[in-house]
Amino acid sequence: MSKRTLVVGNWKMNPATLDEAKVIVRKTRQAASELAHTDVVVCPPFVFISSFNTSTEAPHMYLGVQSVSPYTQEGPHTGEVGVHMLRDLKVEYVITGHSEERSRGVSDEEVSKSVSAIVHEGMMAIVCVGERQRDDAGTYLETLTQQIRSSLAGIEAKHAKNLVIAYEPIWAIGATEAMNPEQVCEMSIFVKKICADIFGPEIALKIKVLYGGAVNAENASSIITIGKVDGLLVGRESVHIDGFVELLRAVDVI
Protein backbone atom coordinates (compact mmCIF):
# COMPACT_ATOMS: atom_id res chain seq x y z
CA MET A 1 0.00 0.00 0.00
CA SER A 2 1.38 3.40 -1.00
CA LYS A 3 2.02 5.97 1.67
CA ARG A 4 -0.81 8.47 2.02
CA THR A 5 -0.32 12.18 2.64
CA LEU A 6 -2.25 13.70 5.55
CA VAL A 7 -3.70 17.22 5.27
CA VAL A 8 -5.37 18.68 8.34
CA GLY A 9 -7.54 21.78 8.08
CA ASN A 10 -7.65 23.78 11.32
CA TRP A 11 -10.52 26.22 10.89
CA LYS A 12 -9.71 28.05 14.14
CA MET A 13 -12.59 30.42 15.08
CA ASN A 14 -14.09 30.44 11.58
CA PRO A 15 -16.53 30.81 9.88
CA ALA A 16 -19.18 33.04 11.44
CA THR A 17 -22.24 30.95 10.59
CA LEU A 18 -23.36 27.34 10.32
CA ASP A 19 -24.44 27.87 6.71
CA GLU A 20 -20.90 28.97 5.81
CA ALA A 21 -19.48 25.96 7.65
CA LYS A 22 -21.73 23.61 5.69
CA VAL A 23 -20.54 25.09 2.40
CA ILE A 24 -16.89 24.62 3.38
CA VAL A 25 -17.37 21.04 4.49
CA ARG A 26 -19.47 20.18 1.42
CA LYS A 27 -16.81 21.48 -0.96
CA THR A 28 -14.04 19.84 1.04
CA ARG A 29 -15.95 16.53 0.96
CA GLN A 30 -16.38 16.79 -2.79
CA ALA A 31 -12.66 17.47 -3.29
CA ALA A 32 -11.68 14.67 -0.90
CA SER A 33 -13.81 12.16 -2.80
CA GLU A 34 -11.62 12.76 -5.86
CA LEU A 35 -8.28 12.25 -4.06
CA ALA A 36 -6.31 9.06 -4.66
CA HIS A 37 -3.34 9.46 -2.28
CA THR A 38 -4.41 11.97 0.36
CA ASP A 39 -6.36 11.81 3.63
CA VAL A 40 -8.14 14.98 4.75
CA VAL A 41 -9.06 15.94 8.31
CA VAL A 42 -11.51 18.79 8.92
CA CYS A 43 -11.29 20.49 12.35
CA PRO A 44 -14.17 22.95 12.76
CA PRO A 45 -15.13 24.82 15.95
CA PHE A 46 -17.00 22.67 18.48
CA VAL A 47 -20.34 24.40 17.81
CA PHE A 48 -20.44 23.05 14.25
CA ILE A 49 -19.36 19.46 14.86
CA SER A 50 -22.71 17.84 15.63
CA SER A 51 -24.13 19.21 12.37
CA PHE A 52 -21.75 17.14 10.26
CA ASN A 53 -23.09 13.81 9.05
CA THR A 54 -19.90 11.77 9.14
CA SER A 55 -21.63 8.75 7.61
CA THR A 56 -21.78 10.60 4.30
CA GLU A 57 -18.21 11.88 4.30
CA ALA A 58 -15.75 10.88 1.58
CA PRO A 59 -13.88 7.60 2.27
CA HIS A 60 -10.67 9.43 3.14
CA MET A 61 -12.13 12.44 4.93
CA TYR A 62 -12.17 12.51 8.73
CA LEU A 63 -13.59 14.71 11.45
CA GLY A 64 -11.27 16.33 13.96
CA VAL A 65 -11.40 18.92 16.74
CA GLN A 66 -9.07 21.78 17.58
CA SER A 67 -8.46 21.06 21.25
CA VAL A 68 -9.61 18.94 24.18
CA SER A 69 -9.56 19.14 27.94
CA PRO A 70 -6.84 17.32 29.90
CA TYR A 71 -9.61 16.20 32.28
CA THR A 72 -10.83 12.67 31.59
CA GLN A 73 -13.83 12.50 33.93
CA GLU A 74 -17.09 14.40 34.14
CA GLY A 75 -16.98 17.06 36.79
CA PRO A 76 -16.81 20.76 37.68
CA HIS A 77 -14.83 21.87 34.62
CA THR A 78 -16.80 24.79 33.21
CA GLY A 79 -16.20 25.36 29.52
CA GLU A 80 -14.18 22.16 29.05
CA VAL A 81 -14.86 19.38 26.54
CA GLY A 82 -13.53 15.93 27.43
CA VAL A 83 -12.25 13.46 24.89
CA HIS A 84 -14.77 10.87 26.08
CA MET A 85 -17.55 13.16 24.84
CA LEU A 86 -16.28 13.05 21.26
CA ARG A 87 -16.67 9.36 20.48
CA ASP A 88 -20.40 9.51 19.69
CA LEU A 89 -19.71 12.39 17.32
CA LYS A 90 -17.35 10.18 15.27
CA VAL A 91 -14.34 12.41 15.94
CA GLU A 92 -11.12 10.62 14.97
CA TYR A 93 -8.42 13.31 15.24
CA VAL A 94 -7.72 15.83 17.99
CA ILE A 95 -5.29 18.76 17.77
CA THR A 96 -3.51 19.52 21.04
CA GLY A 97 -0.72 21.86 22.09
CA HIS A 98 -1.28 24.40 19.33
CA SER A 99 0.89 27.48 19.82
CA GLU A 100 -2.22 29.62 20.30
CA GLU A 101 -3.19 27.38 23.23
CA ARG A 102 0.32 27.42 24.62
CA SER A 103 0.41 31.23 24.39
CA ARG A 104 -2.67 31.29 26.64
CA GLY A 105 -0.78 29.36 29.29
CA VAL A 106 -1.37 25.69 28.41
CA SER A 107 1.69 23.85 29.71
CA ASP A 108 3.58 20.85 28.32
CA GLU A 109 2.21 18.87 31.26
CA GLU A 110 -1.38 19.70 30.30
CA VAL A 111 -0.61 18.82 26.68
CA SER A 112 0.78 15.43 27.73
CA LYS A 113 -2.37 14.75 29.77
CA SER A 114 -4.51 15.59 26.74
CA VAL A 115 -2.35 13.39 24.49
CA SER A 116 -2.72 10.52 26.94
CA ALA A 117 -6.50 10.93 27.05
CA ILE A 118 -6.73 11.06 23.26
CA VAL A 119 -4.66 7.97 22.53
CA HIS A 120 -6.34 5.94 25.28
CA GLU A 121 -9.67 6.64 23.58
CA GLY A 122 -8.18 5.25 20.36
CA MET A 123 -8.20 8.62 18.58
CA MET A 124 -5.31 10.23 16.74
CA ALA A 125 -3.50 13.00 18.65
CA ILE A 126 -2.06 15.77 16.46
CA VAL A 127 0.59 17.17 18.80
CA CYS A 128 1.73 20.67 17.83
CA VAL A 129 5.29 21.74 18.58
CA GLY A 130 7.50 24.57 17.39
CA GLU A 131 10.00 27.19 18.44
CA ARG A 132 9.04 30.82 18.99
CA GLN A 133 12.18 32.14 17.31
CA ARG A 134 15.49 30.95 15.90
CA ASP A 135 18.99 31.85 17.04
CA ASP A 136 22.44 31.30 15.57
CA ALA A 137 23.54 29.28 18.60
CA GLY A 138 20.88 26.66 17.93
CA THR A 139 19.34 26.81 21.40
CA TYR A 140 15.91 26.59 19.75
CA LEU A 141 16.70 22.93 19.08
CA GLU A 142 17.08 22.33 22.81
CA THR A 143 13.78 24.12 23.39
CA LEU A 144 12.05 22.00 20.76
CA THR A 145 13.56 18.79 22.15
CA GLN A 146 12.28 19.56 25.63
CA GLN A 147 8.87 20.51 24.28
CA ILE A 148 8.48 17.23 22.40
CA ARG A 149 9.73 15.11 25.28
CA SER A 150 7.50 16.86 27.82
CA SER A 151 4.43 16.81 25.57
CA LEU A 152 4.82 13.06 25.03
CA ALA A 153 5.79 12.26 28.63
CA GLY A 154 4.20 9.04 29.83
CA ILE A 155 3.01 7.91 26.39
CA GLU A 156 3.73 4.21 25.97
CA ALA A 157 5.26 2.88 22.77
CA LYS A 158 2.12 0.85 22.06
CA HIS A 159 0.19 4.12 21.70
CA ALA A 160 2.69 5.77 19.35
CA LYS A 161 0.62 4.56 16.39
CA ASN A 162 -1.97 7.15 17.48
CA LEU A 163 0.48 10.07 17.33
CA VAL A 164 0.96 12.71 14.64
CA ILE A 165 3.54 15.46 15.26
CA ALA A 166 2.75 18.83 13.69
CA TYR A 167 5.84 21.00 13.49
CA GLU A 168 4.73 24.64 13.39
CA PRO A 169 7.47 27.23 13.95
CA ILE A 170 5.58 29.99 15.72
CA TRP A 171 7.30 32.72 13.74
CA ALA A 172 5.87 31.23 10.50
CA ILE A 173 2.24 30.98 11.65
CA GLY A 174 0.26 33.71 9.93
CA ALA A 175 3.36 34.91 8.09
CA THR A 176 3.40 35.84 4.42
CA GLU A 177 5.88 33.06 3.60
CA ALA A 178 6.42 29.53 4.89
CA MET A 179 9.74 28.17 6.10
CA ASN A 180 11.82 27.22 3.08
CA PRO A 181 11.52 23.52 2.17
CA GLU A 182 15.18 22.72 2.86
CA GLN A 183 14.79 23.94 6.45
CA VAL A 184 11.53 21.99 6.74
CA CYS A 185 13.45 18.86 5.77
CA GLU A 186 16.07 19.48 8.45
CA MET A 187 13.40 19.96 11.10
CA SER A 188 11.41 16.94 9.98
CA ILE A 189 14.51 14.77 10.42
CA PHE A 190 15.17 16.38 13.79
CA VAL A 191 11.63 15.70 15.03
CA LYS A 192 11.89 12.07 13.88
CA LYS A 193 15.19 11.76 15.75
CA ILE A 194 13.63 12.95 19.00
CA CYS A 195 10.75 10.51 18.50
CA ALA A 196 13.31 7.75 17.88
CA ASP A 197 15.05 8.62 21.14
CA ILE A 198 11.70 8.25 22.92
CA PHE A 199 10.14 5.26 21.18
CA GLY A 200 12.94 3.68 19.14
CA PRO A 201 13.76 4.10 15.41
CA GLU A 202 11.29 1.53 14.05
CA ILE A 203 8.31 3.10 15.80
CA ALA A 204 9.44 6.67 15.10
CA LEU A 205 9.55 6.06 11.35
CA LYS A 206 5.82 5.29 11.43
CA ILE A 207 4.86 8.52 13.20
CA LYS A 208 3.68 11.11 10.69
CA VAL A 209 5.33 14.52 10.85
CA LEU A 210 3.36 17.44 9.43
CA TYR A 211 4.44 20.99 8.68
CA GLY A 212 2.30 24.03 9.42
CA GLY A 213 2.83 27.76 8.97
CA ALA A 214 1.80 29.91 5.96
CA VAL A 215 0.94 26.86 3.85
CA ASN A 216 -0.95 27.45 0.60
CA ALA A 217 -1.59 25.87 -2.80
CA GLU A 218 1.57 27.42 -4.27
CA ASN A 219 4.06 26.06 -1.72
CA ALA A 220 2.36 22.85 -0.51
CA SER A 221 3.93 20.54 -3.09
CA SER A 222 7.52 21.70 -2.52
CA ILE A 223 7.12 21.60 1.25
CA ILE A 224 6.16 17.93 1.04
CA THR A 225 8.55 16.80 -1.68
CA ILE A 226 11.64 18.76 -0.65
CA GLY A 227 10.71 19.10 3.01
CA LYS A 228 10.17 15.34 3.35
CA VAL A 229 7.15 15.71 5.62
CA ASP A 230 4.16 13.37 5.71
CA GLY A 231 1.59 16.08 5.32
CA LEU A 232 0.42 19.56 6.28
CA LEU A 233 -1.45 21.36 9.04
CA VAL A 234 -3.29 24.15 7.26
CA GLY A 235 -4.82 27.09 9.12
CA ARG A 236 -6.39 30.10 7.41
CA GLU A 237 -6.26 28.52 3.94
CA SER A 238 -8.52 25.64 5.05
CA VAL A 239 -11.53 27.98 5.24
CA HIS A 240 -10.63 29.76 2.00
CA ILE A 241 -12.21 26.83 0.28
CA ASP A 242 -11.18 27.41 -3.33
CA GLY A 243 -7.53 27.71 -2.28
CA PHE A 244 -7.81 24.68 -0.01
CA VAL A 245 -9.27 22.54 -2.79
CA GLU A 246 -6.44 23.65 -5.07
CA LEU A 247 -3.95 22.74 -2.32
CA LEU A 248 -5.45 19.26 -1.93
CA ARG A 249 -5.25 18.59 -5.65
CA ALA A 250 -1.65 19.83 -5.81
CA VAL A 251 -0.66 17.52 -2.96
CA ASP A 252 -2.48 14.51 -4.34
CA VAL A 253 -0.50 14.37 -7.58
CA ILE A 254 2.89 14.23 -5.84
Q: Which residues are tagged catalytic?
A: 98, 168
Name the nearest CA neighbour of 168 among 121, 226, 208, 215. Answer: 215
Measure the CA angle with vertex 72, ends 66 and 75; round to 5°: 105
| Contact in structure between 62 and 40 (CB atoms under 8 Å) | yes
| Contact in structure between 21 and 15 (CB atoms under 8 Å) | yes
What's the rounded Cα separation, in Å, for the pair 180 and 222? 9
Phi/psi for 167 (5° steps) reads: -85, 115
- Could you give the residue ranges of the DSSP H alpha helices within the chain? 18-32, 46-49, 99-103, 108-120, 139-151, 181-199, 201-204, 220-225, 241-252
